[in-house]
C-alpha cells in the first residue's frame, strides 16, 4: 500500500478512527456517527467553507477550523461541539448570526419540520435572539421559474443552489448577485431558471428559500407517509421517495443512491406525477356493449376476455400481445409468459419501431452480456454517445457523464444535433441521421488499418467497400489505445438505422470497451429481459433454440412455441386475422412509428383488450379496457438501463379498481384454464430460476448497411424531455418549462431564411410548422424538429423547408 493509499488515523472527540487520506473532517466524523452542523457543505458539491457553521477545534490550531474544508492529517486531534467550548461557541455564534436576518416564517414555511436550520438552531444555537434592529427585507416570494419560488429573506447564502446549477447541472441561470448583506440569489430578468434539474435545488436548500410551486402549502413532513420507490419516466432509474397525504400523492423526492442517481432527479420525474390522480383515469373495467363502454365488475371482465381467448384458440386463430416499454419487470415477464403459455404464440412485441436483424441480435444479447454501469462511466477514460441525447432522454446519466467530464475524462458525442446539455470539453462528431451505419463501418475500416485485431466477421462483411472518412478516422484514433476504459452509450435512435446498433455493439467489443444501451423508456430493458419480442424468450433465450425452450418447459410446465413470431408491424398489418389482440400499457395509435397503421390495426382486430391507465387513442377503440395501477400504486421491480433491478413500492392505493398488469394477466390465465403465478414473489421465483449469468459480449449479426441519402436536407427528430405525452397530464407548472419549438437549421443551409421566420417542414411521413432558429449546434444538411404531438416525421427522411404563407 502506498503512502497515499494508507488510511489516516485521527481522533475525534476521543474516538480513534482510520479514514482514507483526503477525507474531510466532517465526513470522517460521520463515519463514527458524529454529526457536525452545516449549511453550505454537501458531499456532492465542491467544499466551500462559507457558512462557517461546521467549526471544530483542532489541537495545535489557534483558530477553529471548518470541518468541511479541512482534510484529515495523521494524528490530528479534533474536538467537535460535544467536546470543545471553542467549537460549541463558534457554532452557536454562527447560528445566532444566521437568525438575525432570518424571518420568523416557520408557521408558513414549507420547510418547517424538515428544515436543517430549525433542527440545527434547536440543537446547536442560542436559545433566543439578542438582535432588536430591523431585519433585511425583500419582496417575497419571487418565482424564478414556473416550478421554483425564491424567498430571499430566508436564504442563508449557502450557495448550494448556485453551486449545484454550475457544477452539477451545468445550467448557471441562478447566481449570487450583489455583495455583503445585500447578497442574494437571483436570476436575470429574461432568463428564468429553466433547467431540467431545477427541482434539485429545492431539495438541497437547507432552508425554505427555494420552494416548489406545486408542493407549496400542501403538507407538513410529519403529515405524509413515504414509500421508497423508483422513478419510471426514463431508464436512468432514479431512486425516489413518494409521499402521500390523505390518500393523495403530494411530492416526490430524490433518494440518495451513489450507484445510480447520487441525490438527484430530473424535473420530469419529480413534478409529473399528477397524471396518476387525474379524473381521466380509467377506474373500472369497461366492456363494450352495443357499441358503448359499460362499467362491469372484474369478474365479468375477466370472464369475457378469457372466454374470447379460449374461443379464438378453439377456432384456430392466433392471438397477439403488444406491450409498452414502461412496464415493471414482473409485468413484462408475466406478459411474455402469458403470450407463450396462454395464447400459445410468439406474436409478442414491445417495440414501437422495428429495426433490422442487428436490433434483434443486440436485444437478445443484452440480458446475457456484461453491459456498462454508472461505475464504468465514473472510471472510464472515454465515453462515446451515439444515437442518444442523454440530457433529453436519460438526464441522470447525463449528470453522471458530466461529473466524469469535470474530473477530466474525454466525452464524444456522435449525432446530428449537439446535446441540449453541456458537458465540459466534449467533442462532437457530426453525423446525419441515417448515416450512422456507414460512419461506424468506416470506423471499423479505420480500426482495421490501425491494426485492431478484434473485428468480427459480421463487421468485416459490413465494412466491405466502405472508405473511412475523416470523422471515422478520428473516432477510430480516439477509441484505439483506451483499452478497457471506453464506454459507448447507444440510444434508440440508432436502432432505426439498419446495422448501426449492431456495429456499435461489435466495435465496442473490438476495442475492449463496455456497451451501454440507453433506451428512452424505463421498462425497455425489462422488456428485453422478459423476451417481449417475436424471437426471444426471457433471459435472452431464443424461441428457435431447443435447449432454451426446454428450460422454459420445465419452469412453465408448457413448452413455448418454436416458430418465430410476427413483429409489431406485421401483427398490426394482419390484425384482421387475429383472435384477440392484447395491448398492455401501449398506445400504438399515438406512439407507433406508423400511427395510422397502429389505429387501423386496432380497428381491424376482431377483439382488442387494453390494459391501460387512460382511454387513449388506442384503448378507446378496444373492446375491453382493464384499469391498470400506476407505478406509485403498486409494488414490483424495475431494472434501469444498467440492468440494475430496483424496487418499486406502493405509495398510494390504486385509483378506483386498478390492479397491477401482472395480476390482471394472471387472473385471465387462470380463468382460461392455464396455471399462472399470481404474486410478485411467485413471479420473481420463476424469473430467478431463469436468470442467466452475464458474460462477455459476443458479436451480433449486422446485416446489410445502407448508404444514407446525400445532399439536400434530412430530418432529425427526437422527443424532448418535457413533452406533451399522456403522462404529462396535470403537470401544468412543469409543462410551462418546456422548451419552445424551433425548426433548427445550420446557417449555411439557411437559403435566405432568418431567425423567427415561420416555416413548414415536410417529409414523406409528416409535417411540422414553427419558427426558424439558425444555429451551428445542428450539422449541415440537417433540419432538427423536436418531437411533438401530431408530428409523424421520422429521422433520416428527406425534408423540405418552406416559408409558411400567413
Partner 1 sequence: MSTSTLQQTKVVTQRFDTADGATLDGYRKTGGYEALKKALSMTPDQIIDIVKTSGLRGRGGAGFPTGTKWSFIPKDIRPSYLVCNADEGEPGTFKDRELMERDPHQLIEGMAIGAYSIGSNEMYIFCRGEFAYAARQLERAAAEAYEAGILGKNIMGSGYDLDLIIHRGAGAYICGEETALLEAIEGRRGQPRLRPPFPATHGLFAKPTVVNNVETFACVPHIVTNGADWFKGFGTEKSPGTKMFCLSGDVERPGNYEVPFGTPARDLIEGFAGGVKGGKKLKAFTPGGASSTQFFGPDKLDTNMDWESVMAAGSLLGTGAIIVFAEDVCMIRAALRYTRFYAHESCGKCTPCREGTYWMVNTLERFENGGGRPEDLKIMDDVAGNIIGRSFCALGDFSIAPVTSTIKLFASEYKDHIEKGGCPFDR
Partner 2 sequence: MTDIQGRWMDTPLMGKAYEHADAPPLSQRFHEEARKLIARYPAGQSRSALLPMLYLAQAEQGYVSPAAMREIGDLLGLTRAQVGAVATFYTMFKRDPQGKWLVSVCTHPSCALAGGKQLKDRLEQELGISCGETAGDVSLEEVECLCACDGAPVFSVNYENYERMTVDDAVDLVKRLHTGEQPPPGARGEVPREFGPVNHRLSGAEAPR
Q: Which of 2, 5, 139, 754 binds partner 2 (CB under 8 A)?
A: 139
Question: What is the Cα gyration radius of the chain?
Answer: 28
**Binding of partner 1 by 416 (CB under 8 A):** no
**Binding of partner 1 by 667 (CB under 8 A):** no
**Binding of partner 1 by 50 (CB under 8 A):** yes
192 vs 442 by CB, closer to partner 2: 192
Q: Is residue 804 packed enough to be buried (19+ CB in 10 Å), middle (13-18) or exposed (0-12)?
A: exposed
179 vs 751 by CB, closer to partner 1: 179
CB atoms within 10 A of CB 453: 7
187 vs 578 by CB, closer to partner 2: 187
Category of 613 on φ-ψ map: left (φ > 0), alpha (ψ -120 to 50) or beta? alpha
407 vs 688 by CB, closer to partner 1: 407
**Binding of partner 1 by 789 (CB under 8 A):** no
Q: Which of 148, 157, 578, 665 binds partner 1 (CB under 8 A)?
A: 157
Report how far residue 420's alpha carbon sits from residue 646's, in angstroms, rounded to the nearest whole number. Answer: 28
Query: What does 97 bind: partner 1, partner 2, none (CB cut-off 5 to 8 Å by kind)?
Result: partner 1
Q: Which of 48, 106, 142, 558 binds partner 1 (CB under 8 A)?
A: 48
**Binding of partner 1 by 183 (CB under 8 A):** yes
Query: What does 156 bind: partner 1, partner 2, none (CB cut-off 5 to 8 Å by kind)?
Result: partner 1
ω into 27 cis (within 30 of 0): no
Query: What does 760 bind: partner 2, partner 1, none (CB cut-off 5 to 8 Å by kind)?
Result: none
**Binding of partner 2 by 754 (CB under 8 A):** no
Strand partners, 212: 148
Binding pattern for the stretch 185-214 against partner 2, x by CB under 8 A and - elsewhere: -xxxxxx-----------------------
DSSP string covering 645-666, please?
A: EEEE--SSPPSTT-B-HHHHHH
CB atoms within 10 A of CB 381: 16
Query: What does 187 bind: partner 1, partner 2, none (CB cut-off 5 to 8 Å by kind)?
Result: partner 2
62 vs 407 by CB, closer to partner 1: 62
Report the nearest approach of partner 2 to the CB of residue 147 (Å): 17
Query: What does 63 bind: partner 1, partner 2, none (CB cut-off 5 to 8 Å by kind)?
Result: partner 1
193 vs 293 by CB, closer to partner 2: 193
Report how far residue 419's alpha carbon sits from residue 397's, in angstroms, rounded to the nearest whole number. Answer: 13
Contact set for partner 1, span 263-302 (CB under 8 A) = none
What residue has cell string 431464443?
A: 542
Q: Which of 4, 178, 314, 681 binds partner 1 (CB under 8 A)?
A: 178
Bridge-based pairing of strands 581-584 and 320-323 is parallel
Report how far residue 706's alpha carbon sits from residue 499's, in angstroms, rounded to the nearest whole number. Answer: 8
**Binding of partner 2 by 178 (CB under 8 A):** yes
Report the nearest approach of partner 1 to the CB of residue 404 (Å): 20
Query: What does 47 bind: partner 2, partner 1, none (CB cut-off 5 to 8 Å by kind)?
Result: partner 1
DSSP string covering 155-183, please?
A: -----HHHHIIIIII-----EEES-GGG-
132 vs 789 by CB, closer to partner 1: 132
H helix intervals, 483-545: 500-510, 524-530
1 vs 132 by CB, closer to partner 1: 132
User: What is residue 551's DSSP assignment?
Assistant: H
Determine the interface stretch with partner 2 among 22-30, 184-192, 401-409, 510-518 (rule: CB under 8 A).
184-192
Q: Which of 43, 49, 172, 635 binds partner 2 (CB under 8 A)?
A: 172
**What are the DSSP E strand ranges found in 87-238?**
142-143, 148-150, 175-177, 184-186, 210-212, 225-230
What residue has cell string 471515422?
A: 472
User: What is residue 147's DSSP assignment?
Assistant: S
Helix (H, G, I), strand (E, B) or coil at 191: strand
Bridge-based pairing of strands 624-627 and 286-289 is antiparallel
CB atoms within 10 A of CB 108: 10
Report how far residue 50's alpha carbon sits from residue 415's, in angstroms, rounded to the nearest whole number. Answer: 41
Q: How many CA atoms lie within 13 A of 114 on its CB side?
A: 14
Measured over the CA atoms of residue 37, residue 43, residue 47 and residue 50, the dihedral's sign is negative
**Binding of partner 1 by 62 (CB under 8 A):** yes
Are the C-beta atoms of residues 759 and 801 closer than 8 Å to each other? yes
Contact set for partner 2, span 109-138 (CB under 8 A) = 133-134, 136-138
Determine the interface stretch with partner 2 among 181-189, 363-371, 412-420, 748-756 (rule: CB under 8 A).
181-189
Residue 716 has φ and ψ, to the nearest 5°, of -120, 135
**Binding of partner 2 by 180 (CB under 8 A):** yes
Residue 751 has φ and ψ, to the nearest 5°, of 45, 55
48 vs 657 by CB, closer to partner 1: 48
Q: Which of 4, 179, 407, 453 binds partner 1 (CB under 8 A)?
A: 179
Query: What does 130 bind: partner 2, partner 1, none (CB cut-off 5 to 8 Å by kind)?
Result: partner 1
Are the C-beta atoms of residues 396 and 238 closer than 8 Å to each other? yes
Query: What does 55 bind: partner 1, partner 2, none (CB cut-off 5 to 8 Å by kind)?
Result: partner 1
Contact set for partner 1, span 75-104 (CB under 8 A) = 89-90, 93-94, 96-98, 100-101
Strand partners, 581: 320, 608
User: 422-427: which pairs have CB atoms within 8 A and are 24 or more residues apart?
Assistant: 422/170, 423/170, 423/398, 424/170
**Binding of partner 1 by 49 (CB under 8 A):** yes
Element (H, E) at 528: helix 524-530
183 vs 303 by CB, closer to partner 1: 183
Query: What does 131 bind: partner 1, partner 2, none (CB cut-off 5 to 8 Å by kind)?
Result: partner 1
CA 290 to chain centre: 42
Residue 668 has φ and ψ, to the nearest 5°, of -65, -45
Are the C-beta atoms of residues 745 and 772 closer than 8 Å to each other? yes
181 vs 315 by CB, closer to partner 1: 181
Query: What does 191 bind: partner 1, partner 2, none (CB cut-off 5 to 8 Å by kind)?
Result: partner 2
Q: Which of 39, 164, 173, 293 binds partner 2 (CB under 8 A)?
A: 173
25 vs 161 by CB, closer to partner 2: 161
Query: What does 62 bind: partner 2, partner 1, none (CB cut-off 5 to 8 Å by kind)?
Result: partner 1
**Binding of partner 2 by 142 (CB under 8 A):** yes
Interaction site with partner 2 (CB under 8 A)? 133-134, 136-139, 142, 144, 172-182, 184, 186-191
Interaction site with partner 1 (CB under 8 A)? 47-53, 55, 62-64, 69, 89-90, 93-94, 96-98, 100-101, 130-131, 133-134, 136, 156-157, 176, 178-183
Amino acid at each position: 500500500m502506498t503512502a497515499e493509499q494508507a488510511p489516516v488515523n485521527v481522533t475525534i472527540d476521543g474516538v480513534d478512527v482510520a479514514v482514507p487520506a483526503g477525507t474531510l473532517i466532517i465526513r470522517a466524523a460521520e463515519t463514527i456517527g458524529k454529526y457536525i452542523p452545516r449549511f453550505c457543505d454537501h458531499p456532492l458539491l465542491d467544499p466551500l467553507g462559507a457558512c462557517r457553521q461546521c467549526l471544530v477545534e483542532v489541537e495545535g490550531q489557534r483558530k477553529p477550523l471548518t470541518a468541511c474544508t479541512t482534510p484529515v492529517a495523521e494524528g490530528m486531534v479534533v474536538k467537535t461541539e460535544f467536546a470543545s467550548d471553542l467549537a460549541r461557541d463558534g457554532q452557536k455564534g454562527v447560528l445566532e448570526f444566521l437568525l438575525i436576518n432570518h424571518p420568523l416564517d416557520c408557521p408558513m414555511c414549507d420547510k418547517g419540520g424538515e428544515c436543517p436550520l430549525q433542527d440545527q438552531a434547536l440543537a446547536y444555537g442560542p436559545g433566543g435572539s439578542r438582535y432588536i434592529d430591523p431585519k433585511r427585507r425583500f419582496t417575497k416570494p419571487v418565482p424564478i421559474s414556473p416550478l421554483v419560488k425564491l424567498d430571499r429573506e430566508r436564504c442563508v447564502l449557502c450557495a448550494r443552489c448556485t453551486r449545484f446549477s454550475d457544477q452539477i447541472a451545468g445550467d448557471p441561470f441562478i447566481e449570487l448577485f450583489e455583495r455583503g448583506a445585500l447578497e442574494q440569489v437571483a436570476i436575470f430578468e429574461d432568463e428564468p431558471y429553466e433547467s431540467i434539474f431545477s427541482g434539485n435545488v429545492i431539495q438541497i436548500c437547507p432552508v425554505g428559500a427555494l420552494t416548489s410551486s406545486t408542493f407549496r402549502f400542501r403538507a407538513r413532513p410529519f403529515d405524509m407517509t413515504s414509500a421508497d420507490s423508483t422513478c419510471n419516466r426514463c431508464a436512468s432509474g432514479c431512486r425516489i421517495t413518494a409521499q402521500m397525504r390523505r390518500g393523495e400523492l403530494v411530492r416526490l423526492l430524490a433518494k440518495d443512491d451513489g450507484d445510480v442517481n447520487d441525490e438527484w432527479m430530473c424535473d420530469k420525474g419529480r413534478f409529473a406525477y399528477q397524471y396518476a390522480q387525474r379524473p381521466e383515469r380509467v377506474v373500472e373495467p369497461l366492456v363494450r356493449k352495443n357499441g358503448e363502454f359499460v362499467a362491469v365488475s372484474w369478474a365479468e371482465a375477466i370472464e369475457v376476455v378469457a372466454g374470447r381467448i379460449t374461443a379464438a384458440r378453439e377456432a384456430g386463430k392466433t392471438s397477439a400481445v403488444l406491450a409498452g416499454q414502461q412496464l415493471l419487470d414482473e409485468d413484462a415477464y408475466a406478459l411474455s409468459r402469458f403470450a407463450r403459455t396462454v395464447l400459445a404464440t410468439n406474436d409478442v412485441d414491445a417495440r414501437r419501431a422495428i429495426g433490422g436483424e442487428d436490433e434483434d441480435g443486440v436485444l437478445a444479447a443484452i440480458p446475457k452480456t456484461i453491459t456498462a454501469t454508472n461505475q464504468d462511466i465514473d472510471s472510464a477514460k472515454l465515453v462515446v454517445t451515439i444515437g442518444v441525447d442523454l440530457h433529453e432522454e436519460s438526464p441522470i446519466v447525463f449528470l453522471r457523464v458530466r461529473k466524469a467530464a469535470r474530473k477530466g475524462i474525454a466525452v464524444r458525442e456522435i449525432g446530428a444535433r449537439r446535446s441540449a446539455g453541456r458537458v465540459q470539453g466534449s467533442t462532437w462528431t457530426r453525423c446525419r441521421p441515417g448515416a450512422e451505419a456507414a460512419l461506424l463501418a468506416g470506423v471499423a475500416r479505420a480500426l482495421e488499418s490501425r491494426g485492431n485485431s478484434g473485428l468480427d466477421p459480421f463487421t468485416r462483411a459490413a465494412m466491405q467497400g466502405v472508405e473511412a472518412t475523416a470523422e471515422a478516422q478520428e473516432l477510430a484514433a480516439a477509441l484505439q489505445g483506451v483499452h478497457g476504459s471506453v464506454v459507448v452509450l447507444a440510444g434508440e435512435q440508432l436502432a432505426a438505422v439498419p446495422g448501426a446498433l449492431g456495429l456499435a455493439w461489435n466495435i465496442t467489443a473490438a476495442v475492449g470497451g463496455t456497451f451501454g444501451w440507453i433506451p428512452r423508456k424505463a421498462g425497455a430493458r425489462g422488456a428485453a429481459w422478459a423476451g417481449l419480442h417475436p424471437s426471444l424468450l426471457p433471459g435472452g433465450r431464443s424461441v428457435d433454440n431447443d435447449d432454451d425452450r426446454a428450460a422454459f418447459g420445465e419452469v412453465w410446465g408448457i413448452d413455448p412455441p418454436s416458430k418465430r413470431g410476427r413483429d409489431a408491424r406485421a401483427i398490426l398489418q394482419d390484425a384482421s386475422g387475429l383472435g384477440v389482440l392484447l395491448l398492455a400499457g401501449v398506445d400504438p395509435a399515438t406512439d407507433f412509428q406508423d400511427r395510422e397503421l397502429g389505429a387501423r390495426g386496432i380497428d381491424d382486430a376482431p377483439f382488442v383488450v387494453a390494459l391501460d391507465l387512460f382511454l387513449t387513442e388506442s384503448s378507446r377503440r378496444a373492446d375491453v379496457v382493464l384499469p391498470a395501477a400506476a407505478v406509485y400504486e403498486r409494488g414490483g421491480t424495475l431494472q434501469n438501463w444498467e440492468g440494475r433491478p430496483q424496487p418499486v413500492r406502493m405509495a398510494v392505493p390504486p385509483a378506483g379498481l386498478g390492479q397491477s398488469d401482472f395480476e390482471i394477466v394472471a387472473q385471465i390465465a387462470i380463468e382460461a384454464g392455464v396455471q399462472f403465478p399470481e404474486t410478485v414473489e411467485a413471479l420473481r421465483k420463476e424469473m430467478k430460476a431463469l436468470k442467466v449469468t452475464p458474460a462477455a459480449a459476443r458479436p451480433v449479426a449486422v446485416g446489410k448497411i445502407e448508404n444514407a441519402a446525400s445532399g439536400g436536407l434530412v430530418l432529425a427528430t427526437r422527443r424532448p424531455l418535457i413533452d406533451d405525452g399522456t403522462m404529462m397530464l396535470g403537470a401544468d407548472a412543469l409543462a410551462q418549462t418546456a422548451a419552445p419549438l424551433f425548426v433548427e437549421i445550420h446557417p449555411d443551409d439557411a437559403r435566405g431564411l432568418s431567425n423567427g421566420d415561420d416555416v413548414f417542414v415536410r417529409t414523406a411521413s409528416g409535417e411540422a410548422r414553427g419558427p426558424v432558429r439558425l444555429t451551428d449546434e445542428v450539422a449541415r444538411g440537417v433540419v432538427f424538429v423536436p418531437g411533438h404531438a401530431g408530428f409523424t416525421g421520422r429521422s433520416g427522411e428527406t425534408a423540405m423547408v418552406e416559408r409558411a404563407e400567413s
